Amino acid sequence: MAAAAPPPPPTAVPVEALPETKLARHPLFCRIRLANPSDVPHIHKLIHQMAVFEHLTDQFTATESSLSSTLFRSQPFQSVTVFILEVSPKPFPESNFNPLYKPKVRILNLDHPIDDPEKETFKSEGDDVVVVGFALFVPNYSTFLGKPGFFVEDILVRECYRRKGFGKMLLTAVAKQAVEMGYGRVEWTVLDWNVNAIKFYEHMGAKVLQEWRICRLTGEALQAYGN
Ligand SMILES: CC(C)(COP(=O)(O)OP(=O)(O)OC[C@H]1O[C@@H](n2cnc3c(N)ncnc32)[C@H](O)[C@@H]1OP(=O)(O)O)[C@@H](O)C(=O)NCCC(=O)NCCS
């Protein structure tokens, strides 16, 4: 009896033949990591974008030097902490990271590449990695809960990257860290006209507390206490 013919070798499925949903036409690697001192120029520019967005540039006096001398003065999460969100079309290179926070990496499959007019300005590590946004937060304390929490001072996703899930990644990372540390709250303030952010926060499950007002001592009113 003749031996059975070997099965034909598997043929590659042409990409066009894959169903639409399986096509990863523009995979984008996304990473949230702790900022370090070399990120200060980017952090400064992102805070400036925040001030422009909020029409508050008259209150923006931070410099790279004032940020350098006030950030990174304690262990992450014990004082001011900055999460940097960055993207790359290729997998991120292995790097040494602070053992207190393992970077969170996700792959986003986009229909179209993102046209980033500020790509050069926000290049991070090598040619491919670009900073997309940040969240800056500090520990606070709730006497009613008898527990610490985090206060998010700034959260920003650069304009061309909005509505793709990056803001969600950033706020999720802060909230997840709060849960892991046994903290009781994550809170922040939002300008009443910033309806897009309010919708985003509501989507994230936050309550917008209408009855609270912000009180602030700053400038001359604060300095007067130094006399
Ligand atoms: C607010 C901000 C951080 C949100 O980031 P983002 O990356 O655009 O948000 P995401 O794509 O993660 O949105 C997650 C979900 O929130 C909701 N959402 C976000 N922006 C929204 C908007 N403009 N309108 C309605 N819903 C919105 C949606 O449900 C969205 O999911 P979907 O896109 O699948 O519908 C970003 O818009 C930003 O940086 N804005 C300028 C700075 C700012 O306002 N910062 C906050 C100051 S308090």
Q: What is the pLDDT of residue 13?
A: 30
Task: Give the pTM.
Answer: 0.90
Q: What is the pLDDT of residue 20?
A: 43
For residue 194, give the ligand 1 atom closest to its CA.
Answer: 44
Ligand 1 centroid, distance to 157 Cα (angstroms): 8
Decide: 166 in ligand 1 pocket, CB within 6 A.
yes
Give the Cα separation of 190 and 158 in Å (integer).
Answer: 17
CATH 1.10.1200.10 fits 23-226, yes or no: no
Ligand 1 centroid, distance to 199 Cα (angstroms): 7
Give the Cα separation of 154 and 17 in Å (integer).
Answer: 45
Q: What is the pLDDT of residue 28?
A: 96
Burial (CB count within 10 angstroms: exposed 0-12, middle 13-18, buried 19+), residue 76: middle
Residues marked as catalytic: 201
Ligand 1 centroid, distance to 197 Cα (angstroms): 6
Ligand 1, atom 12: nearest CA belongs to which residue?
A: 165
Ligand 1, atom 10: nearest CA belongs to which residue?
A: 165
Q: How far is CA 175 from the centre of its chain?
A: 12
Decide: 30 in ligand 1 pocket, CB within 6 A.
no
Q: How many residues does the chain have?
A: 227
Which runs of consecutive H residues, i.e. helices, occur in the chain? 40-53, 64-70, 166-180, 195-203, 219-223
Ligand 1 centroid, distance to 164 Cα (angstroms): 8
Phi and psi angles of residue 183, each rounded to the nearest 5 degrees, phi first: -80, 160
Cα dihedral 73/75/78/84 (nearest 10): 90
Q: What is the pLDDT of residue 25?
A: 79
For residue 35, give the nearest of 62, 8, 6, 70 by alpha carbon: 70
* Domain residue extents for the chain: 23-226
Decide: 190 in ligand 1 pocket, CB within 6 A.
yes
Q: What is the pLDDT of residue 222?
A: 97
Question: Which pLDDT tens digits describe the chain residue by residue (227 residues)?
Answer: 344 444 444 333 333 343 444 555 799 999 999 999 999 999 999 999 999 999 999 999 999 999 999 999 999 999 999 999 999 999 998 878 889 999 999 999 999 999 999 999 999 987 799 999 999 999 999 999 999 999 999 999 999 999 999 999 999 999 999 999 999 999 999 999 999 999 999 999 999 999 999 999 999 999 999 98
Q: What is the pLDDT of residue 191?
A: 97
For residue 110, give the nearest of 32, 171, 29 by alpha carbon: 29
Q: What is the pLDDT of residue 23?
A: 54
